[in-house]
Amino acid sequence: MSRPLPAFAGHPLDRADHIRGDPERLAELAHPGARVLRLEGLIPRLSEGKRLQWGRLGDVAEGVDMVFLGLLDGEPLFAAVPNGGDPDPAYTRRETWAVLGHLTLDELAIYGGARSLLDWHARHRFCANCGSLTVPAKGGWQRDCASCGAQHFPRTDPVTIMLVEHKGNLLLGRKAGFPEGSYSALAGFVEPGETIEEGVAREVFEEAGLRVRDVGYITSQPWPFPSQLMIACHAFADDDKLTIDKTELEDARWFTREEVREAIESGPESTSFRAPFEIAVAHHMLRWWLEKDDE
């Protein structure tokens, strides 16, 4: 069975770490004609053909911090750090989704990686150790503090997201802010000192009161709002009695295979529940589960 490739995965760039650490080579590549991702804040601008729009480095204002995204077919790509990051969960921003819906998988991956990196720069300008202003280093994949010598690196926050199965049924939940009728996989951040499997088990117990076993890995997805790594897992529950944590979930319940199939195949017209959008890894997890059970 093939593993699903969700949005923001499949990054097509050569990340060229050897160039990041070579200031002379980096300066050669950063010529005025080099391509720069065009953004408004953190939202991509689209060309007339609804593709990502690229400007030229020579047109970027003096003093703006630049990051080196990598090489695309040998050509360097850059992006400019915006004045402010995005402290709000971007999935509430319709204008972001309206644009992303046009992009190819390659473009989503380039944009997603750039977005996480740029947002980190915009919101981590000061040293967490001493409070001094830090400066970008290594082509934008690091920030250095000249005052105390600390080095800071872009964040990636691991999140487990899991399908819990019991006697052929699947546990899905909804948070208070979800669109009407929407259900998705339970999810939560991995905590310090915890394996992925332990994170899955803790999260399911906290949110739904279930003990799970045989936690397995399905796939992963970089999620750039702002910088999570979604680790998709599957686990079995020994019983189906739910104790829902209402501070985390508005509802959680078991769905039959037929209900899940109806939700995936009928999209917004579904009569069972509304499945997550295709851009989310949870959508691909449900498809994986339906295929798995078909074997």
Q: Which residues bind Zn ion (CB under 5 A)?
A: 127, 129-130, 132, 145, 147-148, 150
**Would you state the structure tokens that stand for residue 224, as one six-digit string?**
């750039």
Residue with tokens 């829902």: 244
Q: Residue 38's Cα: distance from chain center in Å?
A: 20
Q: What is the distance between the alpha carbons of residues 19 and 218, in angstroms, rounded to a whole number? A: 33
Sheet containing strand 151-152, strands side by side = 134-137, 142-145, 151-152
**CB of 128 vs Zn ion, minimal distance in Å:** 8
Q: Nearest to residue 270, comparing CAs of 258, 278, 262?
A: 262
Burial 241-278 (b: 16+ CB within 10 A, else e): ebeeeeebbeebbbbeeebbbbbbeeeeebebbbbbbe
Tell me the β-bridge partners of 182.
Answer: 274
